[in-house]
């Protein structure tokens, strides 16, 4: 069956969000008189979400937060991040023209992310990318997060794939695990947020430039 839908992860796949997420983490740490986390060290914390970033950031400073304190810090993080969501975050090179090319070729496009849906919409709107997607679904959309494959299945249904096949595009072990559990082919970018090389996670294809995505999709379709 021909592929008709491409489902993208957001952070580390479509958009380089690390600058604003790391800045938010260090703002919260600064409020507690703790030292900032170096950007290179904090970048790969991004894939775990705000709560995990905070937990790791405080642990790096020698502090462990109790659950109630971590809950409050997470709310503070989201409030600050929402106000600064696109200060320095940008689409990765080639994203917008590649999305245009895929749409022109007849593909429908969707986003499946563990970011909150309203934050995802705010970010994509700020970067003029939201218009490309038939569905933008976050961890709160269905109350399900990756790697549970149900979030991907429901994103596909919301995007109205019209009976065609689906390919997922992501950057991390979570994306690859989600696609595998959903029995959907996965293309990984090698410039995102991951604690191990994506090649070690055995995605179906790996790309180093967004401009190479259409060819990678074609290769997967031809291999079926």
**pLDDT at site 69:** 95
Contact 209, 93 (CB under 8 A): yes
Residues 184-194: what's their mean pLDDT? 96
**pLDDT at site 46:** 87
Rg, the chain, Cα only: 17
pLDDT in tens, 63-85: 999 999 999 999 999 999 999 99
Task: State the alpha helices, DSSP H only, in 88-212.
Answer: 95-104, 117-126, 149-159, 173-182
pLDDT in tens, 160-175: 866 568 999 999 999 9
Architecture of domain 3-16+89-223: 3-Layer(aba) Sandwich (3.40)
Report which of 148, 124, 159, 129 is spatially closest to residue 4, judged by C-alpha positions. Answer: 159
**pLDDT at site 162:** 63
**pLDDT at site 160:** 82
Share of the chain above pLDDT 70, in %: 96
Rounded distance between C-alpha atoms, residue 127 and residue 124, angstroms? 5
Lowest mean pLDDT among 11-20, 56-65, 77-86: 56-65
Architecture of domain 18-83: Orthogonal Bundle (1.10)
On the question of pLDDT at 204 being above 50, the answer is: yes
The helix/strand/coil state of 209 is coil
Query: Which tokens sit at 48?
Result: 């775990």
Query: Which tokens sit at 124?
Result: 């994509």
- Buried (b) or exposed (e) across 150-173, using 16+ Cβ within 10 A? ebbbbbbebbebeeebbbbbbbbb
pLDDT in tens, 31-50: 999 999 999 989 988 877 89
For 66, 80, 91, 149, the CA distances from 169, given in Å and listed in that order, are 35, 28, 15, 14
The ranges assigned to domains in the chain are 3-16+89-223, 18-83
- Buried (b) or exposed (e) across 51-90, using 16+ Cβ within 10 A? eebbbbbbebeeeebeeeebeebbebbbebbeeebbeebe
Catalytic residues: 9
pLDDT in tens, 92-142: 999 999 999 999 999 999 999 999 999 999 999 999 999 999 999 999 999
The helix/strand/coil state of 130 is helix
Question: Within a 10 A sphere around the Cβ of 109, how many other Cβ atoms?
Answer: 19
For 48, 166, 212, the CA distances from 217, given in Å and listed in that order, are 27, 10, 9
**pLDDT at site 1:** 47
């Amino acid at each position: 069956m021909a592929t008709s839908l491409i489902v993208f992860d957001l952070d580390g796949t479509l958009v380089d969000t690390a600058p604003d997420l790391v800045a938010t983490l260090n703002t919260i740490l600064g409020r507690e008189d703790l030292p900032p986390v170096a950007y290179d060290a904090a970048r790969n914390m991004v894939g775990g979400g705000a709560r995990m970033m905070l937990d790791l950031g405080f642990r790096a400073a020698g502090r462990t937060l109790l659950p109630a304190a971590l809950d409050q810090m997470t709310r503070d993080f989201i409030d600050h991040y929402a106000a600064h969501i696109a200060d320095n975050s940008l689409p990765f090179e080639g994203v917008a023209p590649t999305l245009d090319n895929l749409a022109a070729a007849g593909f429908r496009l969707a986003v499946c992310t563990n970011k909150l849906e309203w934050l995802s919409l705010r970010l994509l709107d700020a970067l003029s990318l939201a218009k490309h997607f038939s569905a933008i679904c976050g961890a709160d959309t269905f109350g399900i997060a990756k790697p549970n494959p149900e979030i991907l299945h429901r994103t596909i249904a919301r995007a109205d794939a019209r009976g065609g096949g689906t390919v997922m595009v992501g950057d991390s072990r979570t994306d690859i695990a989600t696609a595998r559990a959903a029995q959907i082919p996965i293309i990984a970018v090698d410039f995102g947020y991951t604690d191990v090389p994506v090649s070690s996670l055995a995605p179906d294809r790996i790309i180093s430039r967004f401009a190479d995505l259409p060819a990678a999709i074609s290769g997967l379709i031809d291999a079926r």
